[in-house]
Amino acid sequence: MLGVISQVLIAGALIGFLTWIYFNTVENLNQRGIPTGFGFLNQVAPFKVGFSPFLDFELGVSSYWRVFFIGVQNTIFVSILGIIAATILGFLVGIMRLSPNWIVSRTAMVYIEILRNIPLLLQILFWNFAVFLPSLPLPKASMTFLDTIFLNNRGLYIPKIIAENQTSGLIIIAFIVAAIIGTFFLRKWAKQRHDLTGKRFPVYITGFFGIIAAGFIGIVVTGFPLSLELPRLGRFNLAGGIEFPLPLFSLWFALTTYTSAFIAENVRGGIQSVAKGQTEASSALGLKRGHTLNLVVIPQAMRVIIPPTISQYLNLTKNSSLAVAVAFEELFAIWSGISLNQTGQALVIIAMTFLVYQILSIIISGGANYYNKRSQIVGR
Amino acid sequence: MFKTVPGKFNFLPARSAPTANSGIIGWAKTNLFSSPLNVLLTLIGMYLIYKTIPPFISWAIIDASWGYGDRTLCEQANEAAGRSTACWTYVRVRAEQILFGPFYGQNTDEIWRPILVFIVFAAIIAWLLTERTPFKGYVAAFSLIFFPFFAFAFLHGEWLGLKIAPTGQWGGFMLTLVIAVTGIVAALPIGILMALGRQSDLPVFKALSVIFIEFWRGAPLVTVLFMASVIFPLFFPAEVDFDKVARALIAITLFQSAYTAEAIRGALDALPKGQGEAADALGLGYWHKTLFIILPQALKISIPAIVNTFIELFKDTSLVYIIGLLDLLQMSRATANSLEWRGVSDITAFVFAALIFFMFTSAMAAYSRNLERKLDTEHKN
């Protein structure tokens, strides 16, 4: 009874508070004369968006909707790049941390401790303004690799792959997708065979090369419809190719190194959590050291490593909003920053920004929950 | 069983271990050169250390400019070394501003105020962290209630008739500490309530707590801070005016309380179920059970997790620059980019700020690890 009364009271107070806030907001907005609504989203955005890997932006034509989606796209883009690199680096450092070699494990420890204990914002600013910007050359004197990849203090330039017509591009993509699906079937078959006969099949290596081969076959079948657009050195800057602006590069570098330190600690904890009896039992069964690691220790360690690592992925995605400090055009910088300044639509813009981050975090933690459910030890 | 005949048989004294397996050589053999791969890794590692550590030491200590003066000292040091070196002169000259912010940087004879507050704060912390000091509970309760007023009275100055330091001119490491400490302390009660609400059987409380926690955890702190600075003023009548520091404090408290709640929830989950059931069996009501049985135990085991969230918060205070506050990081950048020091001090400013952050966070991390180990053994029978 008391529970019901208190719940009704709290709910009532909350509704009252929200109504009060609502009326205050309406009054404040009226006083400032800002009409709030979604109408501005269809207006043409009066500023230039520099970096957009997939969506096109045309100054004077593209609307605020487009700006918003480019922001979302760039946030996801830098997060995925960061997650891939941080995972590889994190596992490497985590394994180094457990190396029997004293120098290697100490080096890994120093790496982890320094990167973990310094604010990410400081690291982003440091890499961008104190390391990359002063030490990389001007565009005129770009560092280059075989005149195809260029690096200078404006960014990194790589060749762009251009499909001559859309159908052949689609055919190539279809080949690659088919190879990926084939790999799944291969894995299923290999598992069945392993259960029946105990013979092992190198699924992942076969799959990896199979996908590359499928892409190549697709190119051959369609008659080499692809061409490369190389970045070329102009008078002041590079033209053509794909440009990764320096802020993106610095942000990616800082996010990767910072997150890798946390992942490395997860990896170390996970491997150490596997009971020593497991290793001893598998060597008693006559498994080689490599097999012991791959088939006994790592599968068990993964169960401990992956959940906190996924929450690091979520942190990395949220931390990508620090791009605003180096002016890389991801969601927060371009939407809550520039677009908000231009339109004054604070309510709508901040609500949309929040919504995107909430959706991203629901997706990522949904992945974590799915994994947890699947990998739970089934008790007997 | 050996049977020795007395007087006829003498055991040889134990020999020391072969030199090749003990002492420094043995250590190096097992830890550095145990296999061809390890020999290679050791050599690579040594080369890397040789390439990084000595240059860093000469940059930071040997060739650096240590004197008190103006930028010419640093320029001379750079010239003498033939490359850029650390400019500690800049840190010495600008230390008051970097540590205490714009107001106290200009009114250096008022600097005793933040220092006094800091000393009292450090004394309270030391008292609470040292084992076997008496009256821990009273000290904690007393300082929780009175220390915020004491700190504000001295830092701001109006209540005591001192020269007023407007919050807009607070900054530097002082501001970092004020925000981080207020955030963690104010977030604790909200976090406890939300964690209890999340475990509650009452649907309204449960739903509200889940929404509250997940809402703040799903968004990056910069967006929360930005929201506090842009949207909060719209929510309240025009007469209610928050200054920037208050906005940052509100945003950080709300944000942090979600993480505190999750840390406490973890502890509530970890608590053996029998504790609550035993309390029920004794006929205790919900509040008696929670206040006297569950929370005292849960809070104790949640301390390491709360300290870990505090470490994250401490680092995240650097984000308050987004609403225009000058914390330690921004203060050192701003002074390094001033006309007087531009060009000689930028890396030094980063290194100095990083050093301060590093000292505090790694000390807290070490404390948390230590505590975790202690609590761990206490709970194993």
Per-domain boundaries in chain B: 100-107+165-320
Average confidence (pLDDT) over B193-198 = 92
Which residues in chain A have Cβ-Cβ distances shorter than 8 Å to B204? Answer: 7, 10-11
Of B200, B268, A25, residue with least CA distance to B212: B200
The reply to whether residue A358 touches residue B230, judged by beta carbons under 8 angstroms, is no
Tokens of B48: 């890397």
Residue A371 tokens, joined = 């994994």
- pLDDT for position B61: 86
The secondary element (H helix, E strand) that includes residue B362 is helix B346-379
- B380 pLDDT band (50/70/90 cuts)? very low
Coil/strand/helix, residue A228: strand
Containing structural domain, residue A115? 64-136+247-375
Higher pLDDT, B374 or A113: A113
As a whole number, mean pLDDT of residues B267-285 equals: 89
Task: Report yes or no: B238 at the A interface, CB cutoff 8 Å.
Answer: yes
If you average pLDDT over residues B171-199, what whole number do you get? 92
CA distance B175 to B170: 6
Task: For residue A163, list its beta bridge partners.
Answer: A226
CB contact under 8 A, B203 and A7: yes
Tokens of B173: 């490491």
- pLDDT > 80? residue B2: no
Q: For residue A55, what is the DSSP state?
A: S
Q: Is B361 on the interface with A (CB under 8 A)?
A: yes
Place B3 in a pLDDT band, splitting at 50, 70 and 90.
Answer: low
Number of residues assigned to chain B: 381
Q: Residues 6 or more apart from B204 whose CB is under 8 A from it?
A: A7, A10, A11
- Asked whether residue B164 carries a pLDDT value surpassing 80, the answer given is yes
Q: For chain B, say whether A6 makes contact (Cβ under 8 Å).
A: yes
* Chain A CB within 8 Å of residue B254 CB: no
Q: What is the CATH number of the domain that holds A293?
A: 1.10.3720.10
Task: Please state, in angstroms and as integers, the Cα–Cα distance from residue A89 to each residue in A76, A265, A298, A309, B44, following that order.
Answer: 20, 12, 17, 13, 18
- A13 falls within a domain: no
Element holding A232 (H helix, E strand):
strand A232-233
Six-digit token string for B90: 């800049």
The answer to whether A70 and A334 are in contact (CB under 8 A) is: yes
B chain contacts of residue A113, beta-carbon cutoff 8 Å: 362
pLDDT in tens, A208-265: 888 888 888 887 777 776 677 777 776 666 677 778 888 999 999 999 999 999 999 9
The tokens for A298 are 């790592």
The answer to whether the CB of B344 falls within 8 A of the CB of B75 is yes
Lowest mean pLDDT among B19-23, B98-102, B195-199: B19-23
Q: Is A157 helix (H, G, I), strand (E, B) or coil?
A: strand
Q: Residue B294 in contact with residue B276, Cβ under 8 Å?
A: yes
Q: Do residue A10 and residue B208 have CB atoms under 8 angstroms apart? A: yes
Q: Is A332 on the interface with B (CB under 8 A)?
A: yes
Output the pLDDT for position B252. 94
pLDDT for B7: 64
- The position carrying tokens 């739970």 is A376
> Residue A45 corresponds to which tokens in the numbers above?
């955005």
What's the mean pLDDT in B214-228?
Answer: 91
For B:182-201, CB contacts with A below 8 A are 201
Give ∠ CA B340-B331-B359 in degrees, rounded to 5. 120
Cα–Cα dist A188/A182, whole Å: 10
The Cα–Cα gap between A345 and A331 comes to 15
Distance CA B303, CA B292 (A): 18
Candidates A2, A118, A250, A359: best to mutate against B (most CBs of B within 10 A) is A118
For chain A, which residues score pLDDT lower than 70? 163, 225-226, 234-238, 377-380
- Average pLDDT value for chain B: 87
Q: Cα dihedral sign for B101, B103, B108, B109?
A: negative
- Residue B25 and residue A182: Cα distance in Å, rounded? 55
* Contact list, B227 vs chain A (CB under 8 Å): 350, 354
Buried b / exposed e along A3-12 (16+ C-beta atoms within 10 A): eeeebeeeee
What local confidence, expressed as pLDDT, does residue B304 receive?
Answer: 87
Taking CB atoms and an 8 Å limit, are A118 and B358 in contact across chains? yes
Answer yes or no: is A206 within a domain: no
A179 domain residue, yes or no: no
Q: What is the largest CA-CA distance in chain A?
A: 80
- Helix ranges (DSSP H) in chain A: 2-32, 64-97, 102-116, 120-125, 133-135, 166-197, 203-221, 246-273, 276-284, 289-291, 298-319, 331, 340-343, 346-375
- Its ipTM equals 0.88
CB contact under 8 A, B358 and A114: yes
* CATH classification for the domain delimited by B100-107+165-320, as one of 3.40.140.10, 3.20.20.70, 3.30.750.24, 1.10.3720.10: 1.10.3720.10
Q: In this structure, is residue A351 part of a structural domain?
A: yes
Q: Is B242 on the interface with A (CB under 8 A)?
A: no
* CA angle, A136 then A141 then A143, to 5°: 60
pLDDT score for A236: 65
> Chain B: nearest CA to A201, how far in angstroms?
28
Q: What is the pLDDT, as a whole number, of residue A380?
A: 46
Residue A223 resides in a domain? no
The pLDDT, as a whole number, for residue A94 is 92
